A = this chain, B = another copy of it.
Amino acid sequence: MPGSAPQPVPELPADPDLAEISGAPTKQIPPAAVARLTIYLRALTSLMGDGVERVSSESLAEASGVSSATLRKDLSHVGSYGTRGVGYEVQYLSRHITAALGLTHDWKVAIVGAGNLGKALARYGGFESRGFDVVAIFDADPMVVGNEVGWLRVSHVSDLETVVRRTGANMAVLALPAAVAQDVCDRVIAAGVNSVLSFAPVMLQVPDGVNLRKVDMATELQILAYHAQRAQAPGQTA
């Protein structure tokens, strides 16, 4: 049985400019700040595309939909990469946020489930462009196994352990029915993956040390429904 497989540790980049960050144990960044840093990164990438070289906290905050106070506070967790009276070098800041988020590592993603959602994810350009490499996709349906999806061929889920190890996948995305989610989740973890993103609408149990995030599309609509109902509530008579 494959209890504790060797977790493939991605190698660090040799860029000396980032050494003190990617190597050293930086302080913990608050969860809320981590989520927003990914948004700043997207805004910075967009600015780079427009050839912008410098940006103030005020305008980067506006582009990201937060207050400049929040932005500066968040950046302070990453380090001091701005210049007072001037602003931030777009490239320089972008590189440091990237490093702080661990995106210089070599992330290899296995997608389990080759239905519409799995295929959508496999072909989604946003992954590749942000340093995530989709290295495998699985399905349980023999009719689907062998099909081409993007650059890949669909493997049978019974080969999950073998293929995960061969490809060195270190992240898994679960795009499959709720009923089989826990079972598959256990298997990818046993195969050495310790970061899982699940789209299945169930509570998954994972051991300590495994990172699990969930996206539930029905939940999102339900939250919208709550706010919409409040907004247009006719009974505001009190």
A residues within 8 Å of B by Cβ?
A: 7, 9, 23-25, 28-29, 34-35, 38-39, 41-43, 63-65, 100-103, 105, 107, 109, 115-117, 119-121, 123-124, 126-127, 130-132, 170-171, 173, 194-197, 201-203, 209, 211, 213, 215-238
Contacts and interface: CB of A to CB of B under 8 A. Distances in A.
Given A28-B230, A226-B34, A64 B9 contact: no
B215 A217 contact: yes
Given A127-B221, A130-B218, A228-B171, A25 B197 contact: no
30 contacts: A7-B232, A24-B238, A25-B235, A35-B219, A38-B218, A38-B219, A38-B222, A38-B223, A39-B219, A64-B203, A102-B230, A105-B225, A107-B221, A107-B228, A116-B119, A116-B120, A126-B218, A127-B221, A130-B222, A132-B218, A132-B225, A170-B228, A171-B221, A171-B228, A194-B228, A194-B232, A196-B224, A211-B224, A211-B231, A213-B223
A9 B234 contact: yes
Given A124-B217, A211-B228, A217-B215, A233 B195 contact: no
Given A127-B218, A218-B132, A221-B171, A211 B235 contact: no
Contacts of A215: 215, 217, 220
Nearest to A100: B226
A23 B221 contact: no
A204 to B, nearest CB: 9
A60 to B, nearest CB: 11
B201 A224 contact: no
Highest count of chain B CB atoms <10 Å: which of A195, A236, A238: A195
Q: Which of A7, A132, A173, A201 has the most CB of B within 10 A?
A: A201
Given A115-B120, A116-B120, A101 B222 contact: yes
